Structure 1
Amino acid sequence: MIDRLRALRPRRHDYQGLRRGWPGELLAGVTVAVVALPLALAFGVASGLGAEAGLVTAVVAGVVAGVFGGSHVQVSGPTGAMTVVLVPVVASVGPGGVVVVALLAGAILVFAGVARLGRYASVLPWPVVEGFTVGIAVLIFLQQVPPALGVETPDGTNTAVIAARALADWAPAQWPALAIAALVAATMVVLPRVRRGLPAALIAVAAATVIAEVADLSVDRIGEIPSGLPLPELPTFVAGDLPRLLSAALAVAALGAIESLLSAKVADGMADAEPHDPDRELFGQGLANVSVAFFGGMPATGAIARTAVNVRAGARTRAAAVIHGVVLAGSMVALASLLARIPLAALAGVLMVTAVRMIEFGTVAHVVRSTRDDALLVVVTAFVTVAFDLVLAVGVGVALASLLALIAVADSTSFEREPIDSVDVDPALEHALLHEHIVAYRLDGALFFGAAERFLLELADVSDVEVVILRLGRLRVIDSTGAQALSDLIAQLERRGITVLLTSVQPQHRALIEHVGVIGRLAHENHLLPTLADALVHARRHVRGPGSLKLAGNG
């Protein structure tokens, strides 16, 4: 355990090259902070906790995960996917429940990192990840419909239903909010095409705020924001809420692991830096969430968009992520009064554009066009994400992917009749074998529960033969169900007077078929032979001569 913890601790190597490259790290950190500021405000408001929670999370998680995480260039903070999980928690338990969820989820992630589960958490089928991302993007977009329209969020638990009710409640008099959301969205889309590298979201929100102030538009604002980080305090909760909070914490931990490891993997491909350590990444994200809980923030994870900006801005060490957090903390002190006047509709516009950009339409199109199974996985995972919840969507997606993979493996299993006239045998027997009722089958692939029934149906109908030889040398996988099917087949054939011989059994399969009773079903222990040639020689002893009984022989 001590060795594992030592492997997860920060080290001097994390900041290699910082002495000479600090100007680039400083520029990258400031650039990411400029991009992260409107997103942190928007995600805090969208979660139901308020803008302060988003800023606090960006500061604390950005610094802690930056120091302890497994990627040199990862930037962590609040994300849209987390808001999807947190909105129901706030509605049912209240803001205090989110703090407990962050603490529990952080503890789970710390344990996962120490237990070295990082490599497993990052293995998800590509179509499931894409469907999951599409579903989250749709949910984020729909969640912003009420603030973008300037209407009170209707009651309900289903995001799509709430968005539809908000549309029905909208009145023409509420046009200012819709106009601000549209202005922000248009600015974020057009500005990068005019000049790349500009912080489009920040410029759009600033412009919308100025217009709302000058024109004295009647729109809802963020409201008061504290000018600095709150003092840390112990989270409190009601014991009766613990089961519900634990369920949400498991969802947050799973989502945090998936999103952080995917973001770190993307960063590896973009940055000329050392590949990320998945176990340390989980450990760092866990510590970040535990720390956030003591400051009243919301759960955090690695953010792909902010990480990409960090890499493009020239970051090569963790210093940039730390600087990003420090700059955001400074903005709380210096800009608190200005941030309080930002219209909620402006943040809704930011999140709507962010949601659309989350979907890589070209990638989704490639997945959908690849195979029917992949298209089904994308559609089902996205649908379950929108209609139910994120954790169920991942579970359903992985289960469906596993089922489709098993079906594919089962379909690849073959039971082919093998010609025996080309096998080298004793010349004295060669002529006789061509006229005797001996048949050999070669089993290829995997004999498991998915293929066992087909195996029984195909081989149980063998007729007009006296000896069946089953070659198992090319059988790569066999489970207990497949072994039981093999045992049942032998019993059926033996009851019909057909002798069964097994040949070429691989050593790794021998113990299983013995335990299941396959060898015990054979008429004699000598009916387990090493090669097909040996089996053909032995089979001759069990074939009736013309008008006579079976020839004599042992077994």
Structure 2
Amino acid sequence: MNIASLMPRRADYAEVPRSWRRDVLAGVTVGVVALPLALAFGISSGTGAAAGLITAVVAGLVAAVFGGSHVQVSGPTGAMAVVLAPIVAQYGLPSLALVTVLAGVIVVAAGVAGLGRAVTFIPWPVIEGFTLGIAAIILLQQIPAALGQPTPHGQRPLAAAWQSLRAIEWSAAAPALAIVALVVVLMVGLPRLHRAIPASLVAVVAATGVAIAFSMTVARIGELPAHLPAPVLPHTDLAALRALSGAALAIAALAAIESLLSARVAATMSRTGSYDPNRELVGQGLASVASGLFGGMPATGAIARTAVNVRSGARTRLSAIVHSLVLLGVVYLASGPVAAIPLASLAAVLMVTSVRMVSARTVMRIVTSTRSDAVTFVVTASITIVFDLIEAVEIGVIVAAVFALRALARRSSVTREELPGPPCPGDDRIVLLRLDGAMFFGAAERISSAIVDEHHRDVAVVIIRMSQLGMLDATGANTLAEIVEDLESRGITVIIKGVQPEHRALLDNVGVIDALRHENHLLDSLDDAIAHARSHVRQEAG
């Protein structure tokens, strides 16, 4: 891997002289949209609103400069908040800096190792099931705050939401529910008036104004830092590293997956060209390291904010940089007013955001496509909600792989064919078999049974046609070697026809070629193979 290709370069800003006005406007727009989300995701993760805001500023700036996408916007996200919440509950807030830096280092290492293309192996139903699960968890996490109750720590979102619903007191919950209703109405209604209105920000400002004007008894964000804290190296020792290494690996996996998916979506939406997946991992890893040093949380590429950035006309990294500077201005100039924002309003923002994450049309396409895709989708979503996000992706990929191998095995077959041309004496002692599809570990045993079952007592020659065989692995080749050895040991001559060049070395390595009676029994032409088989039959008859 060429390290220089992973570093910032002058070409990253070649378009700035022509597009800086649009980039600045897009950056301001994204900054306005990102403010309530950054605060909300920070609170949802258990790290606090300040950590969410710091992450958006620091990580957003570093990822914009070092990342592999021209229009990606990074910061705290719902998926990361979901993963981080149980980690903070288990290990405590002091663990945040160490686990964030560790995760960032892992992501950087993945980028340097060239693992950026790995996300392309994640099937579409797994990605959409993962997204649906995250959306459901985000929605469930907001129920306590929407009811004016403190969020239970150490509980899974489903259990915490159920507990809050069971313990609801309508008189105490009424103010918070009123705030939620106001924010939802504004976020749904304002875009219908004009798409350019930053609905989430306007809704939060309106809710804050209503709460202050009517002296409503609702929980607020509380005090925020009036400046960025100084960077501090996290306290570390061997015991802490061992305890947090698994959590850091899970966070790193999520950061890599979400960032690369977001960058891929951005590349399809934008005219700025493709993205560099390995550089994107390096940039996101450095962003998390920087965020951890300043007291923030792990960062990823944010699909929703990136989409806003592209739709607002962004062409270069300048827009994401401006987005971070806008939020930095909030830290230094507006931390006081921000502290008065009701938590219920941020909960409502996330509820609407979670619903918008899920496309009903996409869900219908998946569940009505094939049974295997529908099962993969449902399994991934269910495990995400009930158990763990990373486990959900792992199990979803495994389920998808099992279904894919099963389908591939079903398309594999062994067909007995009639010899072409006019019949000759002794043709009844020649068996012509055609292998189709794939011969690999999932289908090898079935193919073995079919070939062996085809022989009769008076068979003298078996011709195996391999020209239609698309896939062959070591297990399939070894099975074929055993079949050849078995037939040859019983005095049946085996001729193999049409071995593809990419399969020749594998067949040679596992002993298929050596098992043949003679090297002339490996032929390219079917006519030559049949002529050779007939000569063997004549010799035996004579």
The residue identity in structure 2 corresponding to 1:304 is: I
Distance 1:50 1:349 in 2: 17
Decide whether the 8 Å contact of 1:151 with 1:169 is kept in 2: no
Decide whether aligned partners of structure 1 residues 457 and 164 sit closer, same or farther in structure 2, where only a CA change above 3 A counts. Answer: same
Question: Greater Rg, structure 1 or structure 2?
Answer: 1
User: How many Å apart are 1:24 and its aligned residue?
Assistant: 2.1
Q: 2:435 matched to 1:443?
A: yes
Per-residue displacement from partner, 1:101-154 (whole Å, max 9, x unpaired)? Answer: 211111112122222221223442111111110011111111111111112323
* DSSP 3-state at the match of 2:453: coil
Distance 1:513 1:20 in 2: 59
Decide whether the 8 Å contact of 2:39 with 2:52 is kept in 1: yes
Decide whether aligned partners of structure 1 residues 147 and 532 sit closer, same or farther in structure 2, where only a CA change above 3 A counts. Answer: same
User: How many Å apart are 1:170 and its aligned residue?
Assistant: 1.1
Q: 2:431 matched to 1:456?
A: no
Q: 2:472 matched to 1:478?
A: yes
Which residue number corresponds to residue 489 of structure 1?
A: 483
Decide whether the 8 Å contact of 2:89 with 2:154 is kept in 1: no
Which residue number corresponds to residue 21 of structure 1?
A: 19
Decide whether the 8 Å contact of 2:54 with 2:296 is kept in 1: yes
Alignment size in residue pairs: 539
User: How many Å apart are 1:540 and its aligned residue?
Assistant: 3.0
Decide whether the 8 Å contact of 1:441 with 1:470 is kept in 2: yes
Give the stretch that moved more between structures: 240-249 or 443-452. 240-249
Which residue number corresponds to residue 195 of structure 2?
A: 196
Decide whether the 8 Å contact of 1:480 with 1:512 is kept in 2: yes
Map 1:168-317; keep pairs closer than 5 Å.
168-174=166-172, 175-237=174-236, 239-317=238-316
Decide whether aligned partners of structure 1 residues 122 and 519 sit closer, same or farther in structure 2, where only a CA change above 3 A counts. Answer: closer
Map 1:40-439; keep pairs closer than 5 Å.
40-154=38-152, 156-174=154-172, 175-237=174-236, 239-422=238-421, 431-434=424-427, 436-439=428-431
Give the stretch that moved more between structures: 124-133 or 523-532. 523-532
Per-residue displacement from partner, 1:332-383 (whole Å, max 9, x unpaired)? Answer: 1211111111111111111111111111221221122221121111111111
Distance 1:14 1:481 in 2: 48
Decide whether aligned partners of structure 1 residues 512 and 277 sit closer, same or farther in structure 2, where only a CA change above 3 A counts. Answer: closer
Per-residue displacement from partner, 1:282-301 (whole Å, max 9, x unpaired)? Answer: 11111111111110000111
Distance 1:133 1:122 in 2: 16
User: How many Å apart are 1:433 and its aligned residue?
Assistant: 4.3
Instruction: Structure 2: give runs of 5+ residues left out of the alignment.
Output: none
Distance 1:472 1:296 in 2: 61
Decide whether aligned partners of structure 1 residues 519 and 320 sit closer, same or farther in structure 2, where only a CA change above 3 A counts. Answer: closer
User: How many Å apart are 1:208 and its aligned residue?
Assistant: 1.1
User: How many Å apart are 1:156 and its aligned residue?
Assistant: 4.5
Decide whether the 8 Å contact of 2:90 with 2:154 is kept in 1: no
User: How many Å apart are 1:20 and its aligned residue?
Assistant: 4.2
TM-score scaled by length of structure 2: 0.95
Distance 2:244 2:357 in 1: 28
Per-residue displacement from partner, 1:73-109 (whole Å, max 9, x unpaired)? Answer: 1111100000011001110111121221211111112
Of 498, 521, 536, the match for 2:530: 536
User: How many Å apart are 1:249 and its aligned residue?
Assistant: 1.5
User: How many Å apart are 1:421 and its aligned residue?
Assistant: 3.4
Give the stretch that moved more between structures: 347-356 or 501-510. 501-510
User: How many Å apart are 1:239 and its aligned residue?
Assistant: 3.6
The residue identity in structure 2 corresponding to 1:501 is: I
User: How many Å apart are 1:422 and its aligned residue?
Assistant: 2.1
* DSSP 3-state at the match of 2:179: helix
* DSSP 3-state at the match of 2:202: helix
Decide whether the 8 Å contact of 2:89 with 2:153 is kept in 1: no
The residue identity in structure 2 corresponding to 1:204 is: A
* DSSP 3-state at the match of 2:355: helix
Decide whether the 8 Å contact of 1:421 with 1:433 is kept in 2: no
Decide whether the 8 Å contact of 1:373 with 1:404 is kept in 2: yes
User: How many Å apart are 1:504 and its aligned residue?
Assistant: 2.7
Which ranges of 4 or more aligned residues in structure 1 deviate by more than 4 Å?
494-497, 523-526
Decide whether the 8 Å contact of 1:132 with 1:394 is kept in 2: yes
Which residue number corresponds to residue 426 of structure 1?
A: none
Decide whether aligned partners of structure 1 residues 478 and 122 sit closer, same or farther in structure 2, where only a CA change above 3 A counts. Answer: closer
User: How many Å apart are 1:414 and its aligned residue?
Assistant: 2.0
The residue identity in structure 1 corresponding to 2:137 is: L
Decide whether the 8 Å contact of 2:412 with 2:443 is kept in 1: yes
TM-score scaled by length of structure 1: 0.92
Distance 1:32 1:212 in 2: 26
User: How many Å apart are 1:447 and its aligned residue?
Assistant: 0.9
The residue identity in structure 2 corresponding to 1:157 is: Q
Decide whether aligned partners of structure 1 residues 421 and 305 sit closer, same or farther in structure 2, where only a CA change above 3 A counts. Answer: closer
* DSSP 3-state at the match of 2:495: strand
Distance 2:264 2:485 in 1: 53
Per-residue displacement from partner, 1:431-468 (whole Å, max 9, x unpaired)? Answer: 3245x321101112221111111102212112434122
